[in-house]
Amino acid sequence: MSDTDKTNPLRLAMGTEKPLPFSIPTCDSCSKPAVVQQAYSGRVLCGEHLCQMNRKKISKELRKQLVLKGKGQKTNIFVAISGGKDSAVLLESLVDILGKRPDIEITAGCVDEGIEGYRPPSLECARRLCEKLGVRFLTVPYTELGFVEMDEVARRLPMVTQQNKSASKMPCAYCGVFRRQGINHLAQLANADVIALGHNLDDMAQTVMMNITNGDLERTIRLAPHTARPAEGMAPRIVPLRWIPEQEIHLMAVHKELEIHHEECPHAQGALRWRTRDIVADLERDSPGTRHGLLKMADQIKSMRAQLDEAIGKSSSPMPNPTSCPTCGEMTSSATECKACQMKVDLGIV
Ligand code: SF4
Ligand SMILES: [Zn+2]
Ligand SMILES: [Zn+2]
């Protein structure tokens, strides 16, 4: 038996001297069993070294994305959490990397969309994570923001789409818009200078892919992080996990023993993102590095726009500057009322 075999926990657990029908690869930094083989980088890593590597990536992103107020002033970071793995790893990492700094205050919060069987247990997970990490926790239900619960949105949708053919048929289209307002509301309560979101590499690559297929250049340019182009009147969003694949975030959450909620939202099925998720995953399998490529391309487009704006001395975006919605006061780039207010009308809320 080789040294590697002797330290293989699976073999020890099975108490067998016979060769196993398969072998578990070992970490390329130590002799522990690996939990991941990164096809995009060639690295093979155990849980501990995966966490170490990704901690460095998160720190590097924070140095690039997070602009502190400086001059003895405190920077308030609001972390949008959901009880799921991504935002749990994000919050734990931010507390680990920045938590002891006297010039940084971290607050976390979760929007309650009103989804029976899904939101109550995940909200509890989020609350307990904050308790464990010693972070202030905030929450707000959709009903308090003037919306209806998502279960009610889903119930009304068939009627809405029958009356208005241009209204979106997918619950997530409404939820995404309402949740953005919910996060802004919580960030204001926390007096936030920056909003941190738990988007991982897969989320970001899927978004870029959807923007490409929609021909939506402006949405790509407005993608977070907003460090270089903060929108007026809005706390800039940062995405420190953006280079870390979803699978690795999950492994990190398991290695760090973070309590997370695993269930999928019952309204998620059928959303365009699900189809894009499969396409991006297939491309990544056939051609490792595809997700990184999509994100790098979006970064290059953003950088080209910034250079153009600098050269001509003004914004070249065809989108108007955000103004406050005449109905609810939220910042919007729409010429009339904001998307949330339009959707409320579609849903018969007002
Ligand atoms: S899956 Fe869709 S409906 Fe469910 S919480 Fe997410 S955005 Fe909302
Ligand atoms: Zn290792
Ligand atoms: Zn509005």
Strands 331-332 and 323-324: antiparallel
Residues 151/116, Cβ–Cβ less than 8 Å: yes
Neighbouring residues of the ion ligand 3, judged by CB less than 5 Å:
325, 327-328, 330, 337-338, 341
Angstrom distance (rounded) from CA 199 to CA 205: 10
Residue nearest to atom 2 of ligand 1 (CA): 172
Nearest residue by C-alpha to atom 3 in ligand 1: 172
170 CA from centroid of ligand 1 (Å) = 10
CA of 179 to the centre of ligand 1 (A): 9
**What is the number of the ligand closest to the CA of 168?**
1
- pLDDT tens digits, the chain, 350 residues: what are they? 444 444 444 444 444 455 556 688 999 999 899 999 999 999 999 999 999 999 999 999 999 999 999 888 999 999 999 999 999 999 999 999 999 999 999 999 999 999 999 999 999 999 999 999 999 999 999 999 999 999 999 999 999 988 888 888 889 999 999 999 999 999 999 999 999 999 999 999 999 999 999 999 999 999 999 877 777 778 999 999 999 999 999 999 999 999 999 888 999 876 678 889 999 999 999 999 999 999 999 999 999 999 999 999 988 887 777 888 999 988 887 878 999 999 999 999 87
Question: Which ligand number lies closest to the CA of residue 36?
Answer: 2
Ligand nearest to the CA of 46: 2
Distance CA 173, CA 165 (A): 15
Task: Report pLDDT digits (tens) over 283-310.
Answer: 999 999 999 999 999 999 999 999 999 9
Hey, what are 178's tokens? Answer: 């309402």
The domain defined by 58-346 folds into Rossmann fold (3.40.50)
Residue 172 CA: nearest ligand 1 atom is 2
- Per residue in 35-85, pLDDT (tens digit) is 999 999 999 999 999 999 999 999 999 999 999 998 889 999 999 999 999
Q: Ligand 1 pocket: which of 148, 149, 156, 175 to mutate (most atoms <8 Å of CB)?
A: 175
Closest residue by Cα to atom 8, ligand 1, is: 175
**Closest residue CA from atom 7 of ligand 1:** 172
**Atom from ligand 1 closest to the CA of residue 271:** 2
| Ligand 1 atom with least separation from CA of 268 | 1
Residues 6+ apart with CB under 8 A from 342: 334, 336
Distance 206 CA to ligand 1 centre (A): 16
User: How far does the centroid of ligand 1 lie from the alpha carbon of residue 197, in Å?
Assistant: 15
Task: Dihedral sign for Cα 11, 14, 19, 21, please.
Answer: negative
CA 2 to ligand 3 centroid distance, Å:
66
Ligand 1 centre distance from Cα of residue 45 (Å) = 33
Q: Considering every ligand atom, which ligand is closest to the CA of 350?
A: 3
Q: How many CA atoms lie within 13 A of 137 on its CB side?
A: 20
Pocket test for ligand 1, best of 118, 267, 274 (most atoms within 8 A of CB): 267
Provide the whole-model pTM: 0.91
182 neighbors 111 (Cβ within 8 angstroms)? yes
